Structure 1
Amino acid sequence: MFKHMFAVMNEMLDHIIANLDQAKGNERQELLDQLAVLKSMSDTCIEEWLLFEEKMGVLHPKPATALVDAPSPALGDSQAWREAYERGHGFLKLLMFEQSIEQFEEAVRLQPDFLPARFYLALCYMQHGDTGEAYRHFQFIIQLSGDSRLKAVAYNAMGCIQVKKRNLEKAVELFMLAHEQDPDLDDPIRNMQVLTGETGSLQMGSGFPH
């Protein structure tokens, strides 16, 4: 259901991107109206997903050993970390990675076990060129997450970092771990094909549900 909905939303957005610059008058206004609707739908999905994750966290708390040093967010911080997370997404859409990092860091500080925020923080660090920080956060995700898809995407991204460092054997090991976690994720297999000299480029994280 959600996959089909986002496929339609992406199709609409592609149409807007392709035509907005050339559109004039009523046609341009119509495209802007459609963009506003898509933005509203996206914001609603994020908000509802955050609420769902929050409730799931109550039913399935993380192991105490994994969070022994993590400060518990104060009661008044609940809204603060959610707002920081949403601001981080906003900056990320604008490719403003430094600002995204600041916001996702704040979200992670207030809610250390909310892994989607940590995942996007790691991706922003990668885009900003700080692969060391990115790698550290991906390792943290693997230790904490019980979700095989999220672990697979994290392993895959770590493999891409190792490729950039020319540690190809380690990269292959990580791509294999990603494939073991989630055989349905295509990126690790594609990345191993890239390493063997076949055509294509590294795929870092297209399997993560945005």
Structure 2
Amino acid sequence: MNVLYWTDLLGTGVFAISGTLAALHKKKDLDLLTLFIFAFVTAVGGGTLRDVIIQAHPVAWISDANYLLVVIFSVILAVACRRWWLGVLQRPLLVFDTLGIGIFTILGLEKALNAGVNAWAAVLLGIVSALFGGVIRDTLANEVPLVFERQLYATPCLTGATFYVLALFLGLDPTVNFLLSVGLITIFRLLAVKHGWSLPPIRV
């Protein structure tokens, strides 16, 4: 099993925790099955859409039960540690969601490139991988998806993905490139939230 596989499982777990915490934050008194549904769609929604678009069959979580096991474990972990996280991390949902979009943007980009997709289409598919699960999660919670709000959400993903592609063409070591790109997305997103950065709106 290669590093890409384990990184995919890691990203699945991080996003599953994000989905669970989001459900607990937005909807009170949910049972474990409902929390699993929130975690599941958050963790695999974007990757499933990406795999369907690039015709990567079967979809990873369908052929490999480890993905579902990771989601189940992540839900239990998120529920068991929810009060501890709230005590240690001021905004645990933001932290896990940001790590998730960082990992899945670059991971989705790499998978698209490996499938023979051109670089700039791969960038878009990386963004889809990172954001689409959160869109489903927020829609189920009857919330406006973060990507449709003015705060910078997709922009850090685009920046990190573009950096990855350019660094790849320049011959940067793949592991270093992956870490730097994920780090760029994560730091950019956290700074944008802290300082309230947003793009100027287009008015009609």
TM over 0.5: no
TM-score (norm 1): 0.30
Q: Does 1 or 2 have the higher relative contact order (CA < 8 Å, sep 6+)?
A: 2
- Which has more radius of gyration? 1
